[in-house]
Amino acid sequence: MNSLTLILSPEQIATLGATYASYTQSPPPHATLRLKVDGLSITAYKSGKVLFQGKGIEDFIQKNHLEQSIDATSKKALEDSTLPEGFATWSVIGSDEVGNGAYFGPLTVAAAYVSKENIATLKAMGVRDSKDMTDDQIKALVPKIKEAVPYKLLTLWPEKYNEVRQVKNLNEMKALLHNQALRLLTEKLAPETPEAYLIDQFCKPDLYYRYLKGQDLVDKKKTYFITKGESHHIAVAAASMIARCAFLDGLDSLSAEYGYELPSGAGANVDKAAATILKHGGMELLGKVAKLHFANTEKAKKLL
């Protein structure tokens, strides 16, 4: 996706202008705002239309919580994957990530293999969409999932995340982690092989494979992408719960190590916590617990 036009409210445009004040440029005729952020050009017009051009559009939209402004046509482009009939009964390796929308804590990616013989077992255990469960429920259930099915978990801690983020956008990072988790779990299963791979879709498949150019891949012919993957196969639900538990444990671990309560998410309470850390430890300390490219960093500086 090299260009995208959204309709944003005056408040949303004003928020972008305030958040990225240091990235403003002179707007063209009929425009009210022009931003240049890491190779991405953003132009807001008086009509409310906002044109995004360049690299990292999906990354920027996700980071600034603008997904709800994407129109039906653009959403369909991201949700056009289909699965074969009876897919939910197949033996599948599913993968999902957690933490990409949270300012504090790691980015975690998990892959889980659920054979057709194990599907009923996981359903009986209560494995389902982790968004419908409390954190305590997830933490209680994940050890049982880990005993029941093979899995692979990868954790990218904030300090390393910020280093990699200098040269790769968020979706590229996620693609590399998903692919690595899928490959490592496939190797672990050998000689048994899954009937398919299902990735909880975060970008279009052609873009995913573009990010992975030169990398060893799992079988592309057996790989599927779909949004809300946890509702299409229990393997993705299991992977999502494993990744969620690892993210929560990572958040707790960082809080204990550095002595600050690190809330999840990216709201106002996160800005205040970041400002406190900035005040006492500066950007060096903040970079050990937070994803610095989020808008929360600039908001925390303003709070100081």
How far apart are the two ends of the chain, measured CA to CA in Å? Answer: 37
Tokens matching residue 20: 């990225």
Cα separation, 107 vs 181, whole angstroms: 13
Contact 52, 6 (CB under 8 A): yes
Chain-centroid distance of CA 48 in Å reads 28
Give pLDDT tens digits along the chain (304 positions): 467 889 898 888 988 998 898 889 988 888 999 999 877 899 999 888 999 988 778 778 877 878 777 765 555 544 545 799 999 999 999 999 999 889 999 999 999 999 999 999 999 999 988 778 899 999 999 999 999 999 999 999 999 999 999 999 899 999 999 999 999 999 999 999 999 999 999 888 989 999 999 999 999 999 999 988 998 999 999 999 999 999 999 999 999 999 999 999 988 999 999 999 999 999 999 999 999 999 999 999 999 8
Alpha carbons within 13 A on the beta-carbon side of 82: 2
Give me the domains of the chain, ranges plus CATH numbers. Answer: 3-78 (3.30.310.10), 87-252 (3.30.420.10)
Answer whether the bond into residue 191 is a cis peptide, omega within 30°.
yes
CB atoms under 10 Å from CB of 116, counted, come to: 12
Cα separation, 148 vs 242, whole angstroms: 12
Contacts of 160 (CB under 8 A, 6+ apart): none
Indicate the helix (H) or strand (E) that contains 288: helix 268-289
Number of H helices, E strands in the chain: 11, 9
pTM for this prediction: 0.76
Contact 178, 86 (CB under 8 A): no
pLDDT at 132: 80
Angle at 215 between CA 214 and CA 216, to 5 degrees: 125
Burial 50-74 (b: 16+ CB within 10 A, else e): bebeeebbbbbbbbbebeeebeeee
Q: Please report, as a single letter, which amino acid is at residue 242.
A: I
Indicate the helix (H) or strand (E) that contains 210: helix 205-211
pLDDT at 1: 47
